[in-house]
Amino acid sequence: MGPVDVSVVIPVKDEADNIAPLFEEIRAALDDIIDYEVLFIDDGSRDTTAAKVLQLTAGRPRWRLLRHAASYGQSAAIRTGVRMACGVWIATLDGDGQNDPADIPKLLHFARANSPNSAVLVAGCREKRQDSWLKRLASLIANALRSRLLGDQTPDTGCGLKLFPRSLFLDLPYFDHMHRFLPALVLREGGLVHSVPVNHRPRQTGVSKYGVFDRLGEGIIDLFGVIWLQHRAARPRLLDGMTSEAGGPPPSAAA
């Protein structure tokens, strides 16, 4: 399959009952609006998630299922999807149905209209979260701590709805749980980060794969790892006009 504008990457684990509604919502939101493909990455589901995806996407080459042999985590699933994607842009969605696919065109339009820099991350910001008070409180504390220590300019890094160039993601350092720190990693790469308000819905079926206190504990360890990365040099960037057409050093440097 040739390149497309947007690859929608959806990590899923034991989300069988959410696949069909999400399938229909994506089609309603993107058909005839965006040139897109969809990649479901099944991260070791033990229910019928994979079978549901195969049933709905049969005969649709732009809808693909990738399956991990075991559960490797959300960051690994996103990375698998991005590496196998054909899109110039990547849009990520959580597989639980809480993100609204109808927000994807808005994020794409914003990225194209507001960023001359090809290294840009547009992050969804859930203004009216449909989660329990405990989950919202934990997220508030985690976001405040992370923002203060990393300066990542993002009020809601936990939102699964994000848009970024495929090439940008592949340049970022990979580690488990990196998806929670994409804004800081993009800024380290010299890119731009924008937050855009997006819709958020309550989970209709299934259960969350993350415990509140488990996420906080792991997040603190990861946070110090990202701080360490911020104090190490990122990939060098060349000044404009400092390369020759032949690909070697400029004449002045060779003299």
For the chain, the domains span 4-235
237-249 per-position pLDDT tens digit: 677 655 554 454 5
The residue type found at 155 is: P
| Contact between 116 and 194 (Cβ < 8 Å) | no
For 42, the 3-state DSSP assignment is strand
165 vs 248: CA distance, rounded Å: 27
User: Which positions of the chain have pLDDT values less than 70?
Assistant: 116-117, 129-144, 203-204, 206-219, 233-237, 240-255
114-150 per-position pLDDT tens digit: 876 679 999 999 877 656 656 666 666 666 677 777 8
**pLDDT for 33:** 95
**pLDDT for 60:** 96
DSSP conformational letter for 158: T
pTM over 0.85: no
Q: CA angle 199-123-216, nearest 5°?
A: 90
For 121, the 3-state DSSP assignment is strand
What is the DSSP pairing of strand 120-126 with strand 4-12? unpaired
The fourth-level CATH superfamily of domain 4-235 is: Spore Coat Polysaccharide Biosynthesis Protein SpsA; Chain A (3.90.550.10)
**pLDDT for 143:** 66
187 vs 116: CA distance, rounded Å: 15
**pLDDT for 240:** 66
User: Residue 212 to residues 127, 136, 146: CA-CA distances in angstroms?
Assistant: 20, 10, 16
**pLDDT for 222:** 83
162 vs 90: CA distance, rounded Å: 8
